[in-house]
Amino acid sequence: MVSTTATPPRGDASAAPLLECVDLRKSYVLPGSKRHAPGTLSVLNGVNLTIRPAEMVSIVGQSGVGKSTLLQILGTLDRPTNGKVLYEGEDVFALPGARLAAFRNARVGFVFQFHHLLAEFSALENAMLPALIAGKPPRQAEEMAAHYLEEVGLAARAKHKPGELSGGEAQRVAIARALVMKPDIVFADEPTGNLDTKTSDEIHHLLVDLNGRLGTAFVVVTHNVRLAWLLDRHLLLEDGVVRDLADDEAPEQFLPKKDARGHG
């Protein structure tokens, strides 16, 4: 686990990898028809990458190139067709299903474009859920959730239901929920794609702040130029493979044209 007491500097090249993926491939079988045999769509064609503890990494690339697919596999929500995902050297897809689910709940957090909070539960109850699923006693789960609501600046809205929160506040609750188990890494898929510019910028700075305070690694798929520029390292997904962008390669040239204005 990444310890918050001895957080390595962001992107410390000497730190042991937190996550590695090796020759990751994903293809989908497309349904056939009377006249055509089933086909396959290859989305990932051999992705290799290493994420170190506490790194802040953006993934950019054109729409439909496979960014969400890659994030889901790195976060163990989906399985690759081939290849391995290693967390601190452990091949996580070799774990039996129940252990993989427990691993994911304890070590990995997710933030999506839409908050996916449960409408009938309060902000606090939503943020508690991963801790309850992990079997924490309700009292302790509540304390953990209250702590992370405070970390995201939302202690005053703990009793509000999602329908009583602004879009930015709801996304803060989703971030608290992602952090409540103190994961090593959070995957965020266009986390501010649904927010206005000012609210997006506040959330972007919150992510950077949380990374600095908690030592959590963040891997963020984004179409947002300003967010990409705030992060330490930029990965490009193109033609089914990932490469690091060089320092003089601006991430915006690889964003869909309609998005390269700083929105979303």
Ligand X SMILES: Nc1ncnc2c1ncn2[C@@H]1O[C@H](COP(=O)(O)OP(=O)(O)OP(=O)(O)O)[C@@H](O)[C@H]1O
Interface positions with Mg ion (CB under 5 A): 68
Least gap, CB of 26 to ligand X (angstroms): 8
| Run of H or E including 23 | strand 19-30
69 forms part of the interface with ligand X (CB under 6 A): yes
User: In this chain, which residue has its C-beta nearest to Mg ion?
Assistant: 68
From candidates 28, 42, 77, 118, binder to ligand X by CB under 6 A: 28
From candidates 7, 58, 68, 122, binder to ligand X by CB under 6 A: 68
Number of alpha carbons in the 13 Å side-chain half-sphere of residue 222: 34
From candidates 52, 67, 115, 234, binder to ligand X by CB under 6 A: 67
From candidates 21, 49, 65, 141, binder to ligand X by CB under 6 A: 65
- Pick between residue 27 and residue 197 the one whose CB is nearest to ligand X: 27
Length of the chain: 264
- Which of these, 1, 38, 33, lies nearest to 16 by C-alpha position? 1
Asked whether the beta carbons of 63 and 256 are under 8 A apart, the reply is yes
Number of alpha carbons in the 13 Å side-chain half-sphere of residue 56: 20
From candidates 4, 63, 140, 253, binder to ligand X by CB under 6 A: 63
- Residues 140-179: x where in contact with ligand X by CB under 6 A, - otherwise, as a string: ----------------------------------------
Which contacts qualify for 1-7: CB closer than 8 Å, 24 or more apart?
1/107, 1/182, 1/184, 2/53, 2/54, 2/184, 2/215, 2/216, 2/217, 3/215, 4/182, 4/213, 4/214, 4/215, 7/53, 7/54, 7/214, 7/215
112 forms part of the interface with ligand X (CB under 6 A): no
- Pick between residue 68 and residue 211 the one whose CB is nearest to ligand X: 68
- Pick between residue 58 and residue 68 the one whose CB is nearest to Mg ion: 68
Q: Which stretch binds ligand X (CB under 6 A): 67-75, 104-112, 173-181, 203-211?
A: 67-75
* Helix, coil or strand: residue 223: coil
**Could you list the residues that contact ligand X (CB under 6 A)?**
28, 41, 43, 61, 63-69
